[in-house]
Structure formats: C-alpha cells, structure tokens
Chains A and B, each alone.
Chain A
C-alpha cells in the first residue's frame, strides 16, 4: 500500500518570497508522484507530475518539484509566490502499474499575504 505525509498543515508566506511545501511518501513498489492545487470551492487541478527520468519536474504557474528516491520525498517549490497562489495543495501517489487509484496526503494550506 502507498501513503503520503504532508507535515505542514499550513504555510504562511509573504508575497514574492520563496516557498517549499513538503511531501514524503511510502511505497513498496515504484510510483508516480503528483501535486494538485485546490482553490476554494473548486475541484483539483494538476500542477505537475513525476513519472520517470529527470528528478526535477517543472509544472504550471512557476511551480517545480524534486523527486528524491533515497529520502522518499517530492517537495514542491516556487521561487516567488503571488497572492493568487493562496490555496490548498495536495501531494498524491499512485502505483506505476495496475489501476489508477490516487492516494492523497492531507494537504497544505498556502497563505500568501501582502
């Protein structure tokens, strides 16, 4: 079975500052890794995904994430945040074989203030 841990339930940051949202996972098999964003009263939007290859993955809205297999981590970063980045961010994993069940973390709320 797979599991995801997002240690930070909330991350406050000032506009234009850098941010890192942490994600650690556990799995006995190879996985795909994802970051989703959820704005208030909306569904989930895919920010980026790691399938294989380069461990640094770039996504939409200036976000990037680095896959670290030895530390089983997939932390999300942005060098300069905007007010509009305020949202809930979810890390998710799924097996790279078999059917497409996504396992999500509990989410990190990013609060960007002026």
Chain B
C-alpha cells in the first residue's frame, strides 16, 4: 500500500507568479485536505476535496484554489504569489469526506519559497 506522495519536494517562485502543487492520495482514500505550515507555526487548513468537489474551506483568499481528479489525486493552485505564501504545504488523505472518525494520512509536503 503506497502512502501519500507530493510533488515537487521544493519549489522557488517569484512574487506574482502562479504555482501548482500535486498530491497523490493513499490507495482507497477519496478525500484530500490541504494545509499550509508557515515556519515555526502549526499547519493551517486551506480546503478539502471529497469526490472531486470542494466541501470545506479555511480562511484563505480565492487565489488559493484546488482540484481533485477521478483517481482522487489533487492539485493546489496559488495565483499571484506573495512573500507570505512561503511555507510547507501538506496534503492529507482519508477515506470519507463526511463526519465520523477517518484518520488523515499526511504526505511529506512541498516546501515553497517565494522571493
């Protein structure tokens, strides 16, 4: 059973550019959540996708957007990058988008640096 994978590992972008981060969920999982972890902080929830639909969003502006594909992999897109977007972006997958206790399994993250 493969775990959650993310690509790329590291990325350097310039302010104003756009970036796409990718996540492959663990086998059998249909829900993907994205988190932003700034340096020295805990992860902050960005949004969650369940069966290709966004079903929850944190306090992030619309320039943060996402997609989930039929194979349940996911992308996080960030437009008009700002310096404060520099962070570790974590993807987590789980088995259901509704309530109940479904453990989230985290990937290793993508380190984004905006200069």
Contacts and interface: CB of A to CB of B under 8 A. Distances in A.
A and B form one complex: yes
A106 B90 contact: no
Given A99-B99, A100-B94, A101-B58, A44 B45 contact: no
Contacts of A95: 99
A90 B43 CA distance: 9
User: Interface size bucket, B side?
Assistant: 20 to 34
Interface string B48-59: 101000011010
Interface of A: 4, 32, 36, 41-46, 49, 51, 90, 92, 95-107
Interface of B: 4, 31, 33, 35, 40-45, 48, 50, 55-56, 58, 90, 92, 94, 97-99, 101-109
Contacts of B105: 46
A97 B109 contact: no
Given A46-B103, A99-B99, A104 B56 contact: no
A43 B108 CA distance: 4
B97 A100 contact: yes
B54 to A, nearest CB: 11
A90 B114 CA distance: 25
B43 A104 contact: yes
A103 B45 contact: yes
A44 B108 CA distance: 7
A100 B43 contact: no
B33 A100 contact: yes
A104 B42 contact: yes
Nearest to B101: A51
Nearest to B56: A99
A96 B101 CA distance: 7
A103 B108 CA distance: 19
